[in-house]
């Protein structure tokens, strides 16, 4: 959608979501922003208001389906939502170490259930209006299971595949669906990575690429191309080859 009037963004208190909010903040636009950390969320909202946008906020946990649906309903009744960006997500445990049993469940609850909690309330509304756009933030990590991040990769694969099906289902109703697959972006999520991140980019640059892709209603907005090509190839190769390449890259061969 070229010029969405009302945009809802989850995970707007940090990283890519905050950069998207600030990029879209313009006079005449309504932004509905959510995240859990109220102080950071209000900081983003204040910067968006300075840029001229009308901003409503709610500090919510996207795992709470009822509370999220109620708020989405309130926002939509006041100003019909044109674009919803389901961006909130987590990787690994809170301490940034391995995917413990608890972390695995939290990752699925946030990245899969949380995205469903965000988009499902809008499906009947947008279908009925025959207008709207849904954007689901997945990752290139969803192209192939990688060591040490099985739940993250699987949750991102689920988001991507769900979005692809939804796009076909909603096209006859004039509703667009895009899946966003970034490579490494420099945010608090990746700050705790101990390894070197190839082709890492700043969130502002990622937000610009996402906005341009959404304006064209692109099915898949994946970037940067070299990271996408490598991850796509790893997913397409026979596992005996890709397992070997991954072991080689991680220095465990």
Ligand X SMILES: NC(=O)c1ccc[n+]([C@@H]2O[C@H](COP(=O)([O-])OP(=O)(O)OC[C@H]3O[C@@H](n4cnc5c(N)ncnc54)[C@H](OP(=O)(O)O)[C@@H]3O)[C@@H](O)[C@H]2O)c1
**125 with 169: CB under 8 angstroms?**
no
Nearer to ligand X, 127 or 205 (CB): 205
Nearer to ligand X, 42 or 51 (CB): 42
Q: Is 63 in the site for ligand X (CB under 6 A)?
A: yes
How many residues touch ligand X under the rule CB under 6 A: the total is 30
Q: Is 213 in the site for ligand X (CB under 6 A)?
A: no
In the shown chain, the binding pattern of residues 21 to 60 toward ligand X, with x for contact by CB under 6 A and - for none, equals --------------xxx--x--------------------
Q: Is 131 in the site for ligand X (CB under 6 A)?
A: no
Rounded-to-integer distance, Cα 149 and Cα 48, Å: 34
| Active site annotation includes 152 | yes
Q: Is 149 in the site for ligand X (CB under 6 A)?
A: no
Rounded-to-integer distance, Cα 72 and Cα 166, Å: 19
Span from 24-32, 70-78, 177-185, 208-216 in contact with ligand X (CB under 6 A): 177-185
Identify the active-site residue in 71, 143, 152, 162.
152
Q: Which neighbouring-strand residues pair with 84?
A: 8, 134
Burial 20-31, CB ≥16 within 10 A → b, else e: bbbbbbeeebbb
Nearer to ligand X, 188 or 239 (CB): 188
In the shown chain, the binding pattern of residues 99 to 128 toward ligand X, with x for contact by CB under 6 A and - for none, equals -----------x---x--------------
Would you name the residues annotated as active-site residues? Answer: 152
Please report, as ranges, the residues that interact with ligand X according to CB under 6 A: 10-11, 13-17, 35-37, 40, 61-63, 87-91, 110, 114, 137, 139, 182, 184-185, 187-190
């Amino acid at each position: 959608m070229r010029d969405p009037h009302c945009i809802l963004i989850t995970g707007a208190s940090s990283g890519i979501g905050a950069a998207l909010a600030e990029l879209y903040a313009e006079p005449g636009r309504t932004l509905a922003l959510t995240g859990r950390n109220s102080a950071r969320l209000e900081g983003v909202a204040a910067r968006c208001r300075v840029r001229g946008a009308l901003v409503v906020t709610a500090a919510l946990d996207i795992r709470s389906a009822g509370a999220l649906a109620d708020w989405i309903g309130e926002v939509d009744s006041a100003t019909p939502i044109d674009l919803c960006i389901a961006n909130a997500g987590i990787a690994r445990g809170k301490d940034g170490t391995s995917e413990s049993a608890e972390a695995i469940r939290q990752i699925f609850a946030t990245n899969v259930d949380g995205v469903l909690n965000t988009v499902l309330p809008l499906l009947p509304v947008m279908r009925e209006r025959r207008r709207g756009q849904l954007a689901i933030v997945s990752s290139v990590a969803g192209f192939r299971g990688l060591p040490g991040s099985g739940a993250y990769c699987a949750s991102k694969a689920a988001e991507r595949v769900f979005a692809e099906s939804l796009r076909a289902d909603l096209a006859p109703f004039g509703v667009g669906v895009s899946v966003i697959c970034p490579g490494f972006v420099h945010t608090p999520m990746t700050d705790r990575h101990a390894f070197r991140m190839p082709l890492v980019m700043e969130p502002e640059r990622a937000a610009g690429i996402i906005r341009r892709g959404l304006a064209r209603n692109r099915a898949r907005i994946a970037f940067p191309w070299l990271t996408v090509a490598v991850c796509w190839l790893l997913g397409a190769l026979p596992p005996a080859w890709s397992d070997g390449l991954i072991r080689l890259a991680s220095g465990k061969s």
